[in-house]
Each structure stands twice: as structure tokens, then as C-alpha cells.
Amino acid sequence: MNIELKNKIAKEFAENFTEEPILIFSPGRINVIGEHTDYNDGFVFPAAVDKGIIAAISKSAHSVSVAIASDLEEKYEFSVDSVSPLKGGNWRNYILGVVGEIQKKGFKVGNFNIVFGGDIPNGSGMSSSAALENSVVFGLNELFELGLTKEEMIFISQKAEHNYVGVNCGIMDQYASMFGQKDHALLLDCRTTVATPFLIDFKDYELLLINTNVKHSLADSAYNDRRAACEKVAALLNIKALRDATEADLLKVKDQISEEDYQKVLFVVQENNRAQAASEAMIANDIEKLGELIYGSHDGLQNQYKVSCDELDFLVDLAKNSDDVIGARMMGGGFGGCTINIVKKGKADAFVKKVAPLYKLKFNKECSPYAVNIADGTHKIV
């Protein structure tokens, strides 16, 4: 956790409010493999990282709630008595959404003060939004003694995103951020929300993230469109979700759907298989196999599911051309954000040195490497 950030948030809280806050750290996440499978009831393989959101939060002595987004230097006042989604509300909707969804479940929260800030860049595909939602629901649960379980909290966070932010996300991000375990990735069955922790030990290899520093617009609507396409085909097949389909099942309805939709649902079925195969590769210590699966995942995300972009494809192509990288793919919802790479230990710097100027030349912008440490999920700091 970032001590500097913690001190900054605590200081800013003290400058604005007289109440004593509790401090919550809520991490962002990476995902080794299993992309766009969560809302199809499938498998994902995420891990929480040591970067995320720190929130200072207290009850308010007044009849108003005050939220301060430290990084953006923005302040918003509202009352918990009348909460609804704001048009163009950005970060405000994550907070309002959590309050609204807690209330929908029949719980009462009073007004509160919150100051939050983070050290994962917005749009990096590392789920700063789930980290924020989780910090708010976790903080309110503590302050108002709601007695919510972590499981209940993540579904509140997810509903906030659906109903206030307008992204019909799955449960991966909220789960990973809340339940993350130091040094472990979680093979999560998104139907049962039961996870198996795997010690992350890539032997001669390590993880490297490279941020494209782009987030293309329309990502949210493209996300919702893909989810709707998956649900449409699941309905055609008369199954609950694509997790229940095989490639042979998809062939049965191929002539009833467009070629684009067929490729998309085929990707989901294959990606779900890849996520499970990845866990087997990890058990067998077969890191090369894991790398192959990760390249396969990118190929599907790029060509079948069509959620990649030129910047991500460029970085993955350079990884493929390097002897030191055995797997790379885009991570998260897509249309920008980071690639995740499995790189030979000690070779990450050299790879970044090679890639960065080429990226700059091609796109006239910087890409940024991140070394990540796998960390515990949402918790109270003080």
C-alpha cells in the first residue's frame, strides 16, 4: 500500500472535516486470463494488487454528505435521503450507486464524509471503479454497522455499476478487489462465486503490465452490446449462460445468428476453456503452456470478440517478437488500458526499453510499465 497516498488522504480529510475517519484500502486487480467470461457465468483468474483506492470516511454530524475526489480536486455534496444517478456524474455515480443499492436492500445509512484518491490510473483496465465502489460499501458497512457480508458487498458494488454507471459488468472486478489474497491469483467460478487460490510463482518468469495510456470512447456501450449478444445466444440455446455451451452446441444455432455474433460466442466458450486450462498449466508448473494460452486469449479478444485496439495489438505483437516474453494479452474490458505480459525474470526492463520508443514513434504517446505485487483485498487500514 502507498503510504504517501494514505497520508495525503488522511491530511485532506482532516483539513475538511472535524470527525475522525476510518481509512479503507481497496485494491485494483489484474487478470491472468478469462476475459469477458464473468458475465457468462464462466471462469476468470484475477488477483488484487497493491495499488488501488484509499478512502477516509466518517459519519457526518450534519444533514449533508460530502464527497471529495482528491486526485481530481472535485467536491460533491448530496443527501442520502435523495439519491439517484447523475447524468455525466462520473465518480459521483459510484458513490451514489453504492448508497442507493444499500438502501434498495432495506438498509439505512446516514450522511457521511468521504475523501478518496488512488494510484491506479483511470482507464488502465485495472478496475479503479470496482476499488472505489468496494471502499465505499466497506466503509459504510463499518460506520453504520450494517452487518453485510463481503459477498453481499460485492453484489451491491456490481449493482451500483449497472444501475448508476450504466455498465452491465460481471462480478470479477468487485470479487478480486474484495477477496484478493497476497501472492495468489483466484480461479473464480463466476456462477457459484467460489474461488480457488493459486500461488503466483512463475519460476523463471514474472508479470509485467504495460499501460497503453489510451481509453477509447464507446467502450461502455460496446461492452453492454457484447453482453447482450451473449445473452441472446444463450436464450436461443435455452441455457442459463454461455458457460453451459460447448462449441458443438454453438454450431446448432450458427445459421440463426450473424457471423459476428457466432465468433463472439465462440470466443467466450473458448476463453472459458482457456481459463480452466491455465489453472491446469499452473498446477503442472507449465509456464510455457500458460503463455500460449495467454497469447490465444489476446488473439480471440482481437479477432473474434473485437474488443482490442491498435495500441494493445501493437504491444502484444512486439511481445510475440521477443524471445523474453512467453505470453501477452490485453487485460480487462478492452479498447485500451494495459497489456499483461509474462516476461523472463530480469528482462522486463530491456523489453520496455525496446518497446517504449517504438510505441512513441507509432502513436506519438508514451506507454507506461508497471511492476505489480499481488496483495490482499479490501480492508480497513486504521
The catalytic residues are: 173
DSSP H or E stretch at residue 112: strand 112-118
Distance CA 169, CA 21 (A): 30
Distance of closest approach, residue 204 Cβ to ligand GLA, in angstroms: 28
Classify residue 123 as exposed, middle or buried by CB count within 10 Å of its CB (0-12, 13-18, 19+): buried
Sequence-ordered list of residues with C-beta below 8 angstroms from that of 244, at least 6 positions apart, any chain: 41, 234, 237
Largest distance between two CA atoms of the chain:
65
Q: How far apart are CA 117 and CA 314, in angstroms?
A: 31
Least CB distance from residue 193 to ligand GLA, whole Å? 13
Residue 32 CB, nearest distance to ligand GLA (Å)? 12
- What are the residues facing 196 on neighbouring strands? 187
Do the strands 194-199 and 112-118 form a parallel or antiparallel pair, or are they unpaired? unpaired
Shortest distance, CB of residue 77 to ligand GLA, whole angstroms? 28
SS3 content of the chain, % helix, strand, coil (to 5): 45, 25, 30
Give the nearer residue to ligand GLA in terms of CB position, either 165 or 287: 165
Q: Which is nearer to ligand GLA, 58 or 157 (CB)?
A: 157
User: Which residue's C-alpha cell is 459504510?
Assistant: 140
The binding site for ligand GLA (CB under 6 A) comprises 35-36, 38-39, 127, 169-170, 172-173, 332-333
Q: Which helix (H) or strand (E) holds 272?
A: helix 259-283
Sheet architecture: strand order including 112-118: 74-78, 65-69, 112-118, 46-59, 22-31, 379-380
Look-up of cell digits 507449465: 286
Nearer to ligand GLA, 38 or 41 (CB): 38
- Backbone φ, ψ for residue 253 (5° rounding): -110, 10
State the nearest-atom distance from the C-beta of 35 to ligand GLA, in Å: 4
Single-letter amino acid code for the residue at 264: K
